[in-house]
């Protein structure tokens, strides 16, 4: 699937996405054409945003996955394996092909009222690529370490493995390990354990080594991400400041023989609503207005609650954090629509659309809020949750965890280890 996605990716980049015919003139939009229009329109930062999120990061993910998966399929652990898997984990949240696809559809609906719009071959390839990348994204890259470890430890008889399925490797619990009882709540910190940010392996925490590294992937281990709350708060403040000009300044400027007009984000929502395209108006409103506000409010709530040491509704706050991580990239919709519209409407003195300053501000909001969500350590949510009457003593916790440390398991892959909250 990864190889097929890479082939379709090349097709989507090589052919036009949309062709537009108006008054005997023709224009077409390609992804690189959109980047070029923004670059030469003095919107170089926005051009880099579009290039990285719609082209560079998805391409890096596909190439890195191929580099790792092909040798693993042959039973070989490739050189620089750890670095390649980490690279996949880093770039995956920033690839936004599915958001770009939605931006193409919004642009088509927006342009069809003023000109004849014809879908190009690149659009069909992009739609296929969106589905393929969705399948690729369902593959958890953290499972690659378990598969690699199986290859390296295939001759060890003290660990039994289950069948590899859906891209994840699950460990069979060693016969000497006791299953956590439903009446016992274990926390990793109380049991002297720490989970790796990268591969998810739970292992013994060293009290003396401040730069302890994971025994499996060599990533630096931290009980909690350093300066998590300070960095998150700083990024949220910057995003909140950038959100003001993003909504007040024009995101596009249209010039024609009949005059000129500026368009804001809310103006675009109003345009679709008054034109009768209320479903599209709702989609744009949710992606461009509601989602950024929701991210700012939720992350602020999480940061304040963690800084105050609150244990209030920890489960619900953890769910909100996962929601914010999921919806983060969809705010880039308006930036992609601007990039495509600028490329299509470029008819010299007759009609020209250029990107406005709000495009840069809005792109900054998206990036800053995503960085804030990545800097926030969700384990802080659980630090001040009382263990309650069901909790065992620290000594008992360590005794219960001891068999697991003899045969380490992945906290992401073993459902029976979910009672350990890192």
Task: Return phi, psi of residue 158, to 5°.
Answer: -85, -5
pLDDT tier at 109, thresholds 50, 70, 90 = confident
pLDDT tier at 310, thresholds 50, 70, 90 = confident
pLDDT tier at 253, thresholds 50, 70, 90 = confident
Rounded to whole angstroms, the Cα distance separating 234 from 339 reads 29
What is the sign of the dihedral through the CA atoms of 106, 10, 135 and 50? negative
Predicted local confidence at residue 383, as pLDDT = 83
Higher pLDDT, 107 or 23: 107
Q: Which two tokens stand for residue 374?
A: 């990545």
Residue 418: pLDDT over 50: no
User: Which pTM was predicted?
Assistant: 0.81
Share of the chain above pLDDT 70, in %: 82
Predicted local confidence at residue 261, as pLDDT = 82
Higher pLDDT, 40 or 350: 40
Higher pLDDT, 137 or 238: 238
Rounded mean pLDDT, 241-270 = 87
Q: Which two tokens stand for residue 334?
A: 């308006």
- Residue written as token pair 């659309």: 353
Predicted local confidence at residue 359, as pLDDT = 93
Pairing of strands 259-263, 252-256: antiparallel
User: For the segment 153-206, what is each residue's pLDDT rounded down to a tens digit?
Assistant: 764 544 444 444 444 444 444 444 444 444 445 667 777 788 887 777 888 887
Three-state secondary structure along the chain?
CHHHHHHHHHHHHHCCCEEEEECCEEEEECHHHHHHHHHHCCCHHHHHHHHHHHHHHHHHHHHHHHHHHHHHHCCCCCCCHHHHHHHHHHHHHHCCHHHHHHHHHHHHHHHCCCCEEEECHHHHHHHHHHHHHHHHHCCCCCHHHHHHHHHHCCCCCCCCECCCECCECCECCCCCCCCCCCCCEEECCCCCEEECCCCCEEEECCCCCCCCECCCCCCECCCCCCCHHHHHHHHHHHHHHHHHHHHHCCCEEEEECCEEEEECHHHHHHHHHHCCCHHHHHHHHHHHHHHHHHHHHHHHHHHHHHHCCCCCCHHHHHHHHHHHHHHHHHHHHHHHHHHHHHHHCECCCCEEEEECHHHHHHHHHHHHHHHHHHHCCHHHHHCCCCCCCCECCHHHHHHHHHHHHHCCCECCCCHHHCCEEC
């Amino acid at each position: 699937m990864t190889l097929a996605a890479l082939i379709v990716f090349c097709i989507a980049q090589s052919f036009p996405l949309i062709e537009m015919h108006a008054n005997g003139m023709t224009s077409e939009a390609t992804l690189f054409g959109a980047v070029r229009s923004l670059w030469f329109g003095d919107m170089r930062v926005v051009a880099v945003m579009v290039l990285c999120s719609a082209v560079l990061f998805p391409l890096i993910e596909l190439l890195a996955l191929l580099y790792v998966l092909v040798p693993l399929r042959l039973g070989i652990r490739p050189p620089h394996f750890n670095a390649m898997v980490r690279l996949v984990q880093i770039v995956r949240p920033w690839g936004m092909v599915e958001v770009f696809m939605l931006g193409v559809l919004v642009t088509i609906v927006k342009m069809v009222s003023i000109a004849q719009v014809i879908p190009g071959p690149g659009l069909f390839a992009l739609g296929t690529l969106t589905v393929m990348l969705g399948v690729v994204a369902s593959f958890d890259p953290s499972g690659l370490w378990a598969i690699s470890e199986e290859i390296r430890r295939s001759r060890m008889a003290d660990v039994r493995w289950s069948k590899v399925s859906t891209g994840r490797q699950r460990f069979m619990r060693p016969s000497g390990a006791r299953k956590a009882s439903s009446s016992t709540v274990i926390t990793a910190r109380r049991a002297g354990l720490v989970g790796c940010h990268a591969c998810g392996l739970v292992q013994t925490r060293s009290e003396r080594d401040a730069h302890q590294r994971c025994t499996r992937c060599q990533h630096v281990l931290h009980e909690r991400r350093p300066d998590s709350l300070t960095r998150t708060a700083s990024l949220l403040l910057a995003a909140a400041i950038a959100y003001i000009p993003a909504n007040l300044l024009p995101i596009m400027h249209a010039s024609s023989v009949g005059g000129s007009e500026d368009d804001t984000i809310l103006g675009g929502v109003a345009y679709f609503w008054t034109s009768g395209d209320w479903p599209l108006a709702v989609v744009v409103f949710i992606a461009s207005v509601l989602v950024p506000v929701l991210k700012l409010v939720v992350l602020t709530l999480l940061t304040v609650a963690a800084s105050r040491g609150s244990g209030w509704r920890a489960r619900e706050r953890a769910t909100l954090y996962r929601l914010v991580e999921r919806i983060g990239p969809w705010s880039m919709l308006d930036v992609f629509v601007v990039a495509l519209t600028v490329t299509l409407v470029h008819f010299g003195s007759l009609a020209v659309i250029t990107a406005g300053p709000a495009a840069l501000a809005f792109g900054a909001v998206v990036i800053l809020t995503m960085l804030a969500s990545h800097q926030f350590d969700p384990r802080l949510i659980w630090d001040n949750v009382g263990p309650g009457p069901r909790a065992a003593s620290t000594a008992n916790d360590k005794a219960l965890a001891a068999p697991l440390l003899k045969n380490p398991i992945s906290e992401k892959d073993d459902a029976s280890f979910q009672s350990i909250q890192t």
